[in-house]
Amino acid sequence: MRIFTNPDQSGHNPRDEFYRGQRVPCFENPTRADHVLQALSAAGGAVAVPTHDSAAALAQVHAPRYLAFLQDAWRQWLALDAANANVQPFPSVWPVRTLRSDVEPANFIARLGLYSMDNGTPLAAGTWAAAKGGADAAASAAQALLAGERAAFCATRPPGHHAGPDFMGGYCFLNNAAVAAQALRLGGAQRVAVLDVDYHHGNGTQAIFYDRADVLFVSLHGDPLTEYPFYLGHANETGAGEGAGFNLNLPLPAGTGAAAWLDALEVACQCVAAHRADALVVSLGLDTFGGDPIGGFGLQQGEFARLGARLRRLGLPTAFVLEGGYASAELGHNACHVLEGFEAA
Ligand code: SP5
Ligand code: ZN
């Protein structure tokens, strides 16, 4: 299977994030992609740099003013004060209910709040290049499938599934899975399914496709009543307008073990099969691993192999996109187990 890297991933390297009022080193860091790449290439994956530009798909899944902001944000931050090169900007105010989000403020931190869903998604000097490189990897995986390859894997970071039409959040900036799905549509796929197995609900992907019937979104994740992203991911979110019936959420309580998780996976896969899609995009979060520092499920290597094998049985051209997973040292092995399960089935 072709493994697309993101040559610019390590430029997104913010120092720390907030955790219970303290600053702690970022869970989402460059070592993650290094571990995944090392393990997948050791297992015989054909490593390749991105071959396609994601610009056309990006313009259809994200708002122009959000893309313009993200691309220029670090320059704007430095323009406030050259000493900001060593300072992380964080939003501190957000346009919640009753406040206006249609007017872009002139103040940089206010603009950062407008385009963020949380204060847990730090920007760095290389954020745009890294996010764009990941989106290009996703577009390249889509092209590989359109050219007839059975599957492709994007070993990229930062992740993408929390990034919505016009906001960043949950360590995500550009929605790689949505880019892959949209690139498949642009390349002629009539129907696409996105299956999100990250521990956290893929609120951004859901939002991007919520009123569309051509892209099905199915997710199994920690119950948002207690788990990030908290404000989306409930079972009664089923799609709107043309997209009614094309969104399926399977929230599971924190602490859910392998058996119940595999049962939910079966429900999710049957929904994907019923969509009669031309291609599948898997938002592959590995923070469902029992040893993950921020996820609350207990999956082990065997379940990752079973996940891969079950996905294979769907019989669809499949693009895997790495999302979360923060047990860095084990991340590569867990990714390998998914792909070995897929390739052995
Ligand atoms: C892509 C992805 O997995 N994003 C996750 C973003 C989660 N951000 C909030 C992290 C808060 C950490 N909470 C730790 C709870 C430990 N019990
Ligand atoms: Zn996650």
CA of 289 to the centre of ligand 2 (A): 11
> Is the pTM of the predicted complex or chain greater than 0.95?
yes
Q: Are strands 22-25 and 16-19 parallel, antiparallel or unpaired?
A: antiparallel
pLDDT digits (tens, 9 = 90+) for 305-344: 999 999 999 999 999 999 999 999 999 999 999 999 999 9
Q: Would you tell me how many other CB atoms lie within 10 Å of the CB of residue 93?
A: 13
DSSP 242: G
162: annotated active-site residue: yes
* End-to-end alpha carbon distance in the chain: 14
pLDDT digits (tens, 9 = 90+) for 41-68: 999 999 999 999 999 999 999 999 999 9
Q: At 229, is the secondary structure helix, strand, or coil?
A: coil
Ligand 1 site-directed mutation target among 168, 294, 322, most atoms within 8 Å of CB:
294
* pLDDT for 345 beyond 90: no
Please choose, from the candidates 247, 268, 273, 3, the residue with its C-alpha nearest in 3D space to the C-alpha of residue 138.
3
Q: Which residues contact 307 (CB under 8 A, 6 or more apart)?
A: 197, 265, 338, 341
Please choose, from the candidates 249, 272, 261, 266, the residue with its C-alpha nearest in 3D space to the C-alpha of residue 302.
261
Q: Round to whole Å and give the CA distance between 260 and 45.
A: 31
pLDDT digits (tens, 9 = 90+) for 115-168: 999 999 999 999 999 999 999 999 999 999 999 999 999 999 999 999 999 999
The predicted pLDDT at position 129 comes to 98
CA of 28 to the centre of ligand 2 (A): 10
Please choose, from the candidates 214, 195, 217, 207, the residue with its C-alpha nearest in 3D space to the C-alpha of residue 283.
195
State which ligand 1 atom lies nearest to the alpha carbon of 200: 3
Residues near ligand 2 ion, CB 5 Å cutoff: 198-200, 285, 287, 324
Q: Whose CA is nearest to atom 6 of ligand 1?
A: 170
CA of 22 to the centre of ligand 1 (A): 14
Could you tell me how many residues make up the chain? 345
Ligand 1 site-directed mutation target among 228, 232, 289, most atoms within 8 Å of CB:
228
Token readout for 343 is 């390739």
What Å distances lie between residue 151 and 106, 128, 181, 218, 322, CA to CA?
Answer: 45, 27, 14, 19, 14
DSSP 255: T
Is 71 exposed, middle or buried (CB count within 10 Å of its CB: 0-12, 13-18, 19+)? middle
Q: Round to whole Å and give the CA distance between 267 and 310.
A: 11
* pLDDT for 217 beyond 80: yes
Q: Round to whole Å and give the CA distance between 92 and 332.
A: 35
Q: Whose CA is nearest to atom 7 of ligand 1?
A: 170
CA of 200 to the centre of ligand 2 (A): 4
Q: Whose CA is nearest to atom 2 of ligand 1?
A: 324
Closest ligand to Cα 159: 1
Q: Is omega for the bond preceding 158 within 30 degrees of 0, making it cis? A: yes
CA of 288 to the centre of ligand 2 (A): 8
Q: Whose CA is nearest to atom 16 of ligand 1?
A: 294
Q: Whose CA is nearest to atom 1 of ligand 1?
A: 324
State which ligand 1 atom lies nearest to the alpha carbon of 296: 17
Q: Round to whole Å and give the CA distance between 305 and 334.
A: 8
Token readout for 138 is 């996703």
Active-site hit among 35, 161, 162, 221: 162
Residues with CB under 6 A from ligand 1: 19, 120, 159, 162, 170-172, 198, 200, 228, 285, 287, 294, 323-324
The predicted pLDDT at position 53 comes to 98
Average pLDDT, the chain: 98
pLDDT digits (tens, 9 = 90+) for 267-287: 999 999 999 999 999 999 999
High-pLDDT (> 90) share of the chain, %: 99
Whether residue 286 contacts residue 325, with contact meaning beta carbons closer than 8 Å, is answered with yes
* pLDDT for 181 beyond 80: yes
* pLDDT for 8 beyond 80: yes
The predicted pLDDT at position 173 comes to 99
Closest ligand to Cα 293: 1
Residues linked to residue 2 through DSSP beta bridges, in sequence order: 46, 152
Closest ligand to Cα 200: 2
Please choose, from the candidates 219, 321, 213, the residue with its C-alpha nearest in 3D space to the C-alpha of residue 276.
213
DSSP state string for 55-111: HHHHHHHS-HHHHHHHHHHHHHHHHH-GGGGGS---------TTS-SSSPPSSHHHH
Q: Is omega for the bond preceding 229 within 30 degrees of 0, making it cis? A: yes
DSSP 199: S
